[in-house]
Amino acid sequence: MCGIVGYVGQKTTMDVLLGGLKRQEYRGYDSAGVALITEDGLIASAKKSGKLQALVDEVTAHPLAPGHTGIGHTRWATHGAPSDVNAHPHVVDGGKLAMIHNGIIENFAEIREEMLEAGHTFLSETDTEVGAVLLGHLVEQTGDFRTGFAQAVNRFQGAFTVLAIHQDAPNVILAARHNSPLVIGFGDGENFLGSDVAAFVEHTHRAAAVGQDQMVEITPEHVRVTDFAGTPVPIDEFEIAWDASASDKGGWPSFMAKEITENPDAVANTVRGRVVDGRVEIPELSGLGEDAIRKFSRIILVACGTASYAGQVGAYAIEQWARIPVEVQLSHEFRYRDPVITPETLVVSISQSGETMDTLMAVRYAMERGAKTVSICNTQGATIPRESDAIVYTHAGPEVAVASTKAFVAQITALYLLGLQFAQVRGTLDDTAIARNIAELQALPGKLEEVLTTGPEIRQLAKWMSDTPAVLFLGRHVGFPIALEGALKLKELAYIHAEGFAAGELKHGPIALIDHGQPVFVVVPSPRESAEIHSKVVSNIQEIRARGARVIAIAEAGDAAVLPYADEVIRIPLAGPFFEPILAVVPLQIFAMELADAKGLDVDQPRNLAKSVTVE
């Protein structure tokens, strides 16, 4: 979950490192640090706890000597509390070697005891320093940086990406990855490494993902990739599809505010090129084959957090359209319950980053048992799509705010496209129904633009509620996972108690939470196409209103039935039942952001959270 950057070349190395860390700060912001090999051949480093700005202030007040080889790191703490001494890089071996690390070295205790017996000492509480000391020990024993590095990474167990520099190899960065992301950036007389392409997209659009159990050596002139045994492996280069300006705020007060306004583009870009002559065609699914799609007897969607709620929304639609049983399972629970998987099972993973460790492990588990796998992902070259049988990229563009917004609506859109293509192949929807649903998808960007105009109204509501200790969310059918997502956003951003419930569950326990003045958001389905569910939700509203709840209804334009029972009504445009949730979630995103802002909180970097969860 940490952000890593490495650079060799003639640019001002400190500028490259700090710029790369800034664009990856969403990956970790407990502490940050840099190390570089100076022009006189020594290693200079600086690191500070807190957000990246603390490091920037430090190197501004006390500049490091210039150099052309360097590594940088933003940390999300696992082993050891956030502090200056626990921050990376860890400089060892009398100042000759510096190492940074993303992940967890699970056998650190064993290695630490071995190094203590060998006479080494430790300054920090981290597993990373243990790895760095082992690396320095092996370099000293072998007399060679590359040999010692290879031996060290073959000793590490767990999930890790490590980058190291040594003063005896002043123009070299060595790196390795196992179950943790690493990408290469290719330049002219310079090369880069990063946890993701944001680390170097300002400087180059040429990139390659480093595969599982591979090592990398970069110098200004060359890039060499091998497996852990030292055998060279081919490099599969790709072009980054967005530029550095996409990861800038662009004048918005926060990345989250910017990304909420990009919801319409996220949907449009995900649909673009996938509707041909009135039919859904996802070229990336061609590898599955139509025969396999016809034979699938079960679909399992695996995901974590917000992505799992996108899966729950998508499951309703896929099951109805394609007539295949669909279930949603949390990635971190999936493989531990010994699920029944056959060659006719399709496992669809959903991950914005494509590096979510629990989801990656679920995909590998499914493939080992013969299932076909499809990845829904927003990040080019990420591990999960590379290891899956097929990929549906969402094309939402970089999402920097830790709490997901536009990636969520893009994930639902991708799931709907998947469901419609499966329905076509299996013949479970006629041409009229396919055309109607495609038209609904294509109309969503314009309708989302309308929803965004409710921003000022929701901002005022959030200010009024800035001292609210708890908020509840209710929904039925596809509105239920939207209620869950609305509650999650509020927990993530405003640090208050928030719960989402299926409205039908009220009388089975949760109604006990309703007291005078309790705010409750209710996602109200359309009275036009979901009349039965609509009447039940209106009854639920009456039940909680009778017990003193303050009801904020999210309802379609023209729905008069909720007016007598709602204290506030936020309107969304008319849409089909499966397309309402994409519209209804946006006011909840805005509300969570505005309430957090009213409380003076950082909406882009909530406490204790990181964007990409790369450890189990």
Active site residues per annotation: 2, 611
d(CA 392, CA 255): 25
State how far the alpha carbon of 616 is from the alpha carbons of 103, 332, 453, 613, in Å: 9, 8, 40, 8
d(CA 414, CA 408): 10
> Which amino acid is located at 518 in the chain?
Q
Sign of the CA dihedral with 80 first, then 84, 90, and 96 last: negative
**Residue labelled with tokens 């650079």:** 7
Preceding amide of 89 cis, omega within 30? yes
d(CA 4, CA 181): 10
With contact defined as beta carbons under 8 Å apart, do 365 and 339 qualify?
A: no
State how far the alpha carbon of 277 is from the alpha carbons of 280, 288, 421, in Å: 8, 22, 13
Torsion angle defined by CA atoms of residues 424, 577, 493 and 610, in that order, rounded to the nearest 10 degrees: -10
d(CA 523, CA 8): 52
With contact defined as beta carbons under 8 Å apart, do 383 and 354 qualify?
A: yes
State in Å, rounded, how far the first CA of the chain is from the last one: 11
Q: 321: alpha, beta or left, given left = phi > 0 and alpha = psi -120 to 50?
A: alpha
d(CA 571, CA 593): 19
3-state secondary structure of 309: helix
Cα R_g (the chain), whole angstroms: 25
Query: Residue 159 pairs with which residues in a beta bridge?
Result: 104
Residue 491's CB is within 10 A of a number of other CB atoms, namely 18
Q: DSSP of 97-124, one letter per residue?
A: EEEEEEEEETTHHHHHHHHHHTT----S
Q: Which of 147, 141, 110, 139 is nearest to 127 (CA)?
A: 110
Residue 244's CB is within 10 A of a number of other CB atoms, namely 16
With contact defined as beta carbons under 8 Å apart, do 199 and 218 qualify?
A: no
3-state secondary structure of 49: strand
d(CA 317, CA 313): 7
Phi, psi of 141 (to 5 degrees): -65, -45
Token couple for 119: 């006479």
Token couple for 92: 């060892």
Token couple for 111: 């290695």
With contact defined as beta carbons under 8 Å apart, do 138 and 151 qualify?
A: yes
d(CA 415, CA 433): 17
Q: Which of 493, 321, 270 is nearest to 403 (CA)?
A: 493
